[in-house]
């Protein structure tokens, strides 16, 4: 369990640890704010593209092998990030790092289900939710603390010794899962990757003011690849994504709820560092510390909600948590232009409590509704919707920055006064996504939910 936790913390943390450093990285590498967001998005998009192929591969050849290879690739990618001297080199290293992160995150939930007995699934999911949510939320805090004493490359260099340690112990301690045999469908993998990548690139094209024809072509490519991927899954005997999972209303609604909630979180985590530093005038360290109540609240609530989900209906717990999360995001959107630290802290506590109370029960609902032999596929869906939501959230922030924020040629950062408008718009959008997630979750509270065909 310690091996899985260390790898999960590194993989999830690197999806958000660079958020607080984006203004610093943009300045030192002479990039504009919208371009610098690809330091975050490159990693998240690649993770989302590769999770389903890796989860399918884990079912086929065994979870232990895929996880160990993922840790090794992630460690090498982290070293490349630390040695990068240009924005292009950093983004390419993040792509390589994302391949390893996808292998880790696609397999970790299935490993947890293998490690724990079935009667303790809620406890296992609670620990997993605590690890994932705390790591994601603590990223800005840890990033700000590192930036206070070290240059930004150390955000990635710190992974190298941890990765070496985890690779060595993964091969010794993880349970041996022989797999079902066979491999993965390469045609399905070739279709699933562009379905997501083109969609995120289309959003980025809106931020960068690509020509309408190119932007529409990217979205059309995404839709075409997505339709072809779904048709392919229904036509082969061993699909990468078993569509019968989505015939279960419990599974489908839990996945949709998770996607919307992580879009909301992705929006908030990317825009708040800009709001705190560029508009509010806080340092990187202070900006990171302002995030600290969020992960602390998640750490306090997630294990508790995981245990509750073994006794009470998971949809009810999830809906209550999402309602609280929505209120917290709305309160952040109402922040004044120059808020006091106390004004920020109590609002982030509300967000952390809500998100922590929602995630473990919802994950239990998703994983528990899948057959045990489909644990890898269910884990892949869980990780895919999480990372996809975060990627879409970050891309929407880039769109808002590109549409509203004026860029300063002198320091490659947006003007503080102009940034205030898109930042608050992003927070209101996040609150709206959380409200939509709450409504979807509430659909599960009906006595009987019809099967989805």
Tell me the two tokens of residue 175. Answer: 């349970």
Give the burial class of 350: count Cβ atoms within 10 A of its Cβ; 0-12 exposed, 13-18 middle, 19 or more buried: buried
- Angle at CA of residue 154, ends 153 and 157, nearest 5°: 95
- CATH class given for the domain over 2-184+240-445: mainly alpha
Site of tokens 């979870």:
63
Q: Decide: residue 410, CB within 10 A, 0-12 exposed, 13-18 middle, 19+ buried.
A: exposed
* pTM: predicted TM-score of the whole model, two decimal places: 0.71
b/e per residue, 200-220, with b = 16+ CB within 10 A? bbbbbbbbeebeeeebeebbe
**Token pair 């004044």 is at which residue?**
336
Question: Which neighbouring-strand residues pair with 407?
Answer: 414
- Helix 121-149 vs helix 87-115: crossing angle, to nearest 10: 150
Nearest Cα residue to 222 out of 238, 200, 241: 200
Helix, strand, or coil (residue 185): coil
The helix/strand/coil state of 375 is helix
Domain locations in the chain as residue ranges: 2-184+240-445
Residues contacting residue 258 through CB under 8 Å, at least 6 positions apart: 362, 363, 366, 382, 385, 386, 389, 437
pLDDT per residue rounded down to tens, the chain (453 residues): 888 888 888 887 887 777 777 778 878 887 776 677 778 778 877 887 887 788 778 777 778 888 888 999 999 999 999 998 888 889 899 999 999 988 888 777 777 777 777 667 667 766 776 777 667 666 767 777 788 788 888 989 989 999 999 888 887 888 776 666 666 777 887 888 788 788 878 877 776 677 888 889 999 999 999 899 888 887 887 777 777 788 788 888 999 999 999 999 888 888 887 778 777 777 767 777 787 788 788 878 877 887 788 788 888 999 999 999 999 999 999 887 777 888 888 999 999 899 988 888 888 888 777 776 666 677 778 777 887 887 788 778 878 877 765 443 334 444 555 567 778 888 999 999 999 999 999 998 875 444 444
N-to-C CA span, the chain: 37
- DSSP letter, residue 450: P
CB 19 within 8 A of CB 140: yes
What phi and psi, each to the nearest 5 degrees, are found at residue 413? -125, 150
């Amino acid at each position: 369990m310690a091996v899985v936790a260390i790898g999960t913390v590194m993989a999830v943390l690197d999806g958000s640890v660079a958020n607080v450093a984006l203004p610093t990285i943009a300045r030192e590498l002479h990039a504009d704010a919208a371009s610098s967001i690809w330091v975050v998005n490159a990693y998240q998009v690649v993770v989302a593209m590769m999770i389903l192929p890796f989860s399918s591969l884990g079912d086929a050849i065994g979870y232990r092998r895929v996880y160990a290879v993922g840790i090794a690739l992630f460690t090498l990618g982290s070293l490349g990030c630390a040695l990068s001297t240009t924005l292009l080199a950093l983004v390419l290293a993040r792509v390589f790092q994302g391949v390893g992160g996808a292998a880790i995150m696609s397999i970790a939930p299935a490993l947890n289900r293998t490690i724990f007995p079935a009667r303790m699934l809620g406890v296992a999911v609670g620990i997993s939710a605590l690890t994932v949510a705390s790591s994601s939320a603590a990223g800005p805090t840890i990033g700000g603390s590192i930036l206070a004493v070290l240059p930004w490359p150390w955000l990635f260099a710190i992974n190298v010794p941890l990765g070496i340690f985890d690779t060595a112990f993964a091969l010794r301690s993880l349970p041996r899962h022989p797999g079902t045999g066979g491999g993965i469908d390469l045609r399905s993998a070739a279709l699933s990757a562009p379905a997501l990548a083109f969609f995120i690139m289309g959003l980025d094209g809106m931020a960068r003011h690509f020509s309408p024809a190119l932007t529409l072509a990217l979205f059309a490519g995404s839709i075409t690849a997505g339709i072809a991927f779904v048709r392919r899954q229904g036509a082969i005997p061993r699909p990468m994504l078993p569509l019968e999972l989505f015939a279960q209303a419990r599974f489908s609604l839990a996945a949709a709820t998770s996607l919307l909630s992580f879009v909301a979180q992705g929006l908030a985590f990317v825009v708040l560092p800009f709001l705190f530093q560029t508009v509010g005038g806080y340092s990187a360290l202070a900006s990171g510390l302002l995030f600290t109540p969020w992960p602390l609240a998640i750490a306090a609530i997630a294990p508790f909600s995981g245990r509750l989900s073994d006794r009470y209906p998971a949809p009810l717990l999830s809906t209550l948590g999402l309602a609280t999360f929505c209120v917290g995001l709305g309160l952040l959107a109402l922040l004044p232009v120059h808020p006091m630290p106390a004004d920020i802290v109590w609002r982030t506590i509300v967000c952390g409590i809500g998100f922590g109370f929602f995630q473990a029960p919802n994950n239990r609902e998703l994983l528990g509704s899948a057959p045990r032999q489909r644990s890898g596929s269910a884990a892949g869906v869980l990780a895919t919707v999480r990372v996809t939501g975060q990627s879409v959230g970050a891309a929407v922030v880039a769109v808002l920055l590109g549409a509203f924020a004026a860029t300063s040629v002198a320091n490659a950062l947006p003007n503080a006064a102009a940034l205030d408008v898109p930042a608050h718009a992003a927070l209101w959008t996040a609150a709206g996504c959380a409200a939509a997630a709450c409504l979807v979750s509430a659909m599960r509270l009906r006595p009987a939910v019809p099967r989805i065909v």
